[in-house]
Structures are given as C-alpha cells and as structure tokens.
A and B are shown apart, each in its own frame.
Chain A
C-alpha cells in the first residue's frame, strides 16, 4: 500500500508562471488536505477536500490559488501567476475519515519562484 504520493518533489517557476502540484492519497482514503510550510515556519492549513467537493478552504489565499479533487485522478493545487512569496514546501495529507483517524503526509513539493 503506497503512501501519499506528491509530484513533483521540486518545482521551479519564474514569476508570473503557473504551478501545478499533484497529490495522490493513500489507497482507500477519500479525504485530502493541503498545507503550506514557509521557510523556518510551521505548517499552515490551506484546504480540505473530498472527492469532487471542497469542504474547507479557509486557509487558501483569496486570489491565484485553487484546489480540486476530481472523481478520478489526483488532487491538484494550482497557483496562478506565482510570486516569490509563494516559495515554500507544500504538503498533502490524506485520511480515511474526517475525524479520529490518522492523517498521513506526502513528502511534499518544494516550490521555488525565481
């Protein structure tokens, strides 16, 4: 049973380009969470999705950021028109249920905006 898979592991984008981060949850998990970790800071919640639904996006910046978790395929975190401040590690986690179940994290995607 493979763990949470994120790709790419490292992504370099020029300012103004788009970044697409992918997350495949563990088998049997239908809940996906995205977190951002800025250098030397803790993990900040961004968005919580179930298949085809955004449940909680209270941590998502209002502009340029979007997330989806389609019926088939991985969850995608999309950042449009990236700026230097978007440089961070983006982690995805998945769980089997919404509460009282263990969350498992991927290795993260390290985005560098140049």
Chain B
C-alpha cells in the first residue's frame, strides 16, 4: 500500500530564506509526482509535475526533484516571500493521486 509522508509538518521562516520541503513515498512504482499548494479554505493549485523518468522540474522560484529509487522528492523554494504562505502537498500518481499530509508554511516579513 502506497504511503506518502511529508516533513516537516509545519515551518515558519522569515522572508528571504531558501526552503526545502520533503516528501517520501513507500512504493517506487509511480507514474509521476505532483506538488500542489493549498491556501486556507481554498482548492489546490498545481505547482509542478515530475514524470517518473525525470529528475527535476523548475518553475520560477520553485524547483522540485525526484529520486524514484529512494522514494523521495524535495520542493525547493528560493527567496521565500510572505505570499508563499500556504500548505504544500505532494502527491504520487499510481493511476490515482495519493497525497501526503502536507507541510504548512508560514513566511513572515
């Protein structure tokens, strides 16, 4: 049974810091991995999708890496801003998305 874990559960940092959010999964038989952002009371916004054959994807200040063999992905956020405050979710695709419990990020000015 696929299980997805995210560490840390919560993170509070001052503006400008570079951040690393971690995601691990137990079964490496995945099609892809997606990172999402969820604002309080809102839906999910897709940030990055990494195909199983890829090692990383970049979008602006975000970079996500995938090491399928070790069951790990990291989301790197450069030069964090207060507007980055949200919950970040990773999900592995095994013909349906299996989600981690998220990392709640707060960036204060």
Residue numbers of A with Cβ under 8 A of B are 33, 35, 41-45, 48, 56, 91, 93, 98-100, 102-108, 110
Contacts and interface: CB of A to CB of B under 8 A. Distances in A.
B46 to A, nearest CB: 6
Contacts of A99: 31-32, 93, 95
A105 B36 contact: yes
Interface of B: 31-32, 34, 36, 41-46, 49, 51-52, 89, 91, 93, 95-102
Contacts, number: 57
Contacts of B36: 105
A34 B36 CA distance: 16
A77 to B, nearest CB: 15
Given A42-B89, A42-B100, A91-B44, A103 B34 contact: yes
